[in-house]
Amino acid sequence: MTSPELRLVPALPEHVDMWMALREEPASRRLVPLEPTSRESLLERLQAATHDVRHPTATSFRWMVEWDGRLIGTVSARELSRFHGRVEIGYMLSSGFHGQGLGTRAVAGVVACLFEAWSFLHRVWLTTAEDNLASQSVARKLGFTQEGLMRGHFLIEGRRKNQQVWGLLRPEWEARRAHLTFPFARMHGPAPR
Ligand SMILES: CC(C)(COP(=O)(O)OP(=O)(O)OC[C@H]1O[C@@H](n2cnc3c(N)ncnc32)[C@H](O)[C@@H]1OP(=O)(O)O)[C@@H](O)C(=O)NCCC(=O)NCCS
């Protein structure tokens, strides 16, 4: 029996309710500094993002993570600077699918695609709460280095927390990638324009 396929599919406006439910899950609320946001505002963000890494001017990208035909999470890349060669990523999986290596495989799929698609890209970075050990583990496994700590940077459920900054430079990714043996999530979807 073959194992189910892990795919990155374009994030579309029709995914708004799934994304909203994902953000409302207790694990997401406990670990991610999500500001209260309306459905309309999430819809606008989905409309403003693209999956098309060949788009010449886009700065905001989002994919949904599909496992065995079900949407189980999302990965984004935002504030792309073509001038500085950097982009910030974010990721979130539904808690029923945590701890099986799927998050690492999904983020690896996006990081690989970005470095491959954008020859100008030098740096991928992310932030994570100091107590978000699973997210830190994903970053570490992919070769990111913790670069800093922003003290008291956000509130989660009324508690002020520190936020870590992690970064991955192209040569570090190339060295790390050579040692990653698990299958990365693959990008699927309509051909880029
Ligand atoms: C972060 C997230 C995407 C990781 O996805 P995942 O599929 O659970 O991750 P993986 O299974 O690929 O890897 C998780 C790693 O964290 C480790 N981990 C999980 N919980 C942990 C804990 N409480 N303490 C220490 N390590 C932990 C696992 O052991 C695993 O590492 P290993 O492979 O070395 O054993 C997922 O947990 C998630 O969506 N969390 C809620 C939203 C969130 O935190 N998003 C990130 C915001 S920065």
Q: Any idea what the CATH number is for the domain that residue 126 is in?
A: 3.40.630.30
Query: Domain count of the chain?
Result: 1
Half-sphere exposure of residue 7: CA atoms within 13 angstroms, side-chain side? 14
Q: Judge if pTM exceeds 0.85.
A: yes
C-alpha 136 – ligand 1 centre gap (Å): 7
Q: How far apart are CA 1 and CA 58, in angstroms?
A: 40
Considering the chain, what percentage of its residues have pLDDT values greater than 70? 97
Q: What's the domain range around 33?
A: 6-187
CB-count exposure of residue 62 (10 Å: 0-12, 13-18, 19+): buried
In a domain, 192, yes or no: no
In a domain, 30, yes or no: yes
In a domain, 193, yes or no: no
Which of 8, 24, 104 is the pocket-test mutation for ligand 1 (most atoms within 8 Å of CB)?
A: 104
Strands 145-156 and 186-187: unpaired
Question: pLDDT tens digits for 72-114?
Answer: 999 999 999 999 999 999 999 999 999 999 999 999 999 999 9
What is residue 11's predicted lDDT score, i.e. its pLDDT?
A: 98
Question: pLDDT tens digits for 37-54?
Answer: 999 999 999 999 999 999
Q: How confident is the model at residue 193 (pLDDT cuts 50, 70, 90)?
A: very low
Question: pLDDT tens digits for 111-167?
Answer: 999 999 999 999 999 999 999 999 999 999 999 999 999 999 999 988 999 999 999
The ligand 1 atom nearest the CA atom of 127: 48
